[in-house]
């Protein structure tokens, strides 16, 4: 991918208000509501549909959009998201094109958007340049599954200077000495992985999750959102009762895969998502 300027962002001005993610959680807290975060793979089935899905999701109760940057070796993702990522890559989707897409969305919507990208595309692009351009295009933060906070010090410094959120992972197996480091490095929200393993639909979750989240809440006021494996309205309801937000990815991408090529894809997928958001506590 050639390194060059991004025309779509050139005319945009830096946003001086609070980060959209922080604004959203502040708004939800005042309303005593929980966040629903929807993950989709950017560029699958195409960029036009991705844009339509984002705008439609904003109308059916989604609070934050997580846009997945397609990558050839998505180590944290299960087969569903791997398939979507592969198909997007086959169509030539790049980080640069995704940033342009976000800039287009910002002409219509201010829904918070966080990118989920593996480190390789960001390293190739340049950490500082990525943060600055992503911010200018309207991205509010980033999640990098294969970049631990211990290795992200430069990225975190640049992100703080640009009011750009860095979301890191906690899991059921994270040891106590490390929890505080992850909490301190995270901004926007903390991503609590509900299961050990990759993304994908699950039927059961550990009964210890609630206790672990309570323990984390004793050391931070930052929002904690649960993701990985959540796929049904009942699971959304249960997980929203013990967290500040719920993240659903594979189940939504599975719906997109199921309706690929159909004219009513956006309507069908949005209806599925509306059933999930209706169960938030």
- Name residues whose C-beta falls within 8 Å of residue 182's C-beta, 6 or more positions apart in sequence: 149, 168, 169, 170, 174, 190
The C-alpha R_g of the chain, in whole angstroms, comes to 17
Neighbouring-strand partners of residue 113: 65
* Spacing of C-alpha 97 from chain mean position: 17
Residue 70: phi and psi, rounded to 5, are -55, 140
The continuous run of DSSP H or E covering 38 comes out as strand 35-41
Give the count of beta carbons closer than 10 Å to the beta carbon of residue 43.
27
Active site residues: 66, 77
Task: Give the count of alpha carbons within 13 A of 181, CB side only.
Answer: 11
β pairing state of 245-248 and 224-227: parallel
Is the previous residue joined to 45 through a cis bond, with omega within 30 degrees of 0?
A: yes
- List Cα–Cα distances, 75 to 119, 121, 194, in angstroms: 11, 14, 17
Contact 102, 113 (CB under 8 A): yes
User: Rounded CA gap, 8 and 30, in Å?
Assistant: 35
| Residue 94, token pair as written in the block | 């790049």
- Beta bridge pairs of residue 247: 37
Distance CA 126, CA 195 (A): 32
């Amino acid at each position: 991918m050639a390194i060059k300027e991004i025309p779509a962002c050139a005319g945009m001005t830096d946003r001086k208000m609070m980060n959209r993610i922080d604004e959203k959680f502040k708004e939800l807290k005042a309303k005593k509501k929980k966040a629903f975060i929807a993950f989709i793979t950017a560029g699958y089935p195409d960029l036009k549909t991705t844009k339509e899905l984002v705008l439609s999701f904003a109308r059916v109760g989604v609070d934050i959009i997580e846009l997945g940057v397609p990558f050839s070796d998505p180590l944290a993702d299960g087969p569903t998201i791997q398939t979507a990522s592969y198909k997007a890559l086959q169509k030539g989707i790049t980080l640069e094109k995704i940033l342009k897409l976000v800039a287009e969305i910002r002409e219509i919507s201010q829904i918070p958007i966080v990118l989920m990208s593996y480190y390789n595309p960001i390293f190739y692009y340049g950490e500082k340049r990525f943060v600055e351009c992503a911010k200018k295009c309207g991205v509010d933060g980033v999640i990098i599954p294969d970049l631990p906070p211990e290795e992200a010090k430069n990225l975190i410094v640049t992100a703080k200077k640009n009011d750009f959120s860095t979301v890191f992972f906690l899991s059921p197996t994270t040891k106590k000495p490390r929890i505080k480091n992850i909490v301190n490095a995270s901004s926007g929200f903390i991503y609590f992985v509900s299961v050990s393993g990759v993304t994908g639909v699950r039927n059961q979750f550990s009964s210890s999750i609630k206790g672990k989240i309570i323990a984390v809440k004793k050391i931070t006021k930052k929002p904690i959102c649960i993701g990985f494996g959540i796929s049904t309205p009942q699971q959304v309801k249960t997980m929203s009762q013990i967290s500040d937000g719920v993240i659903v990815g594979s189940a939504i991408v599975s719906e997109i895969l199921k309706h690929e090529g159909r004219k009513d894809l956006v309507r069908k997928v949005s209806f599925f998502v509306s059933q999930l958001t209706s169960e938030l506590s």
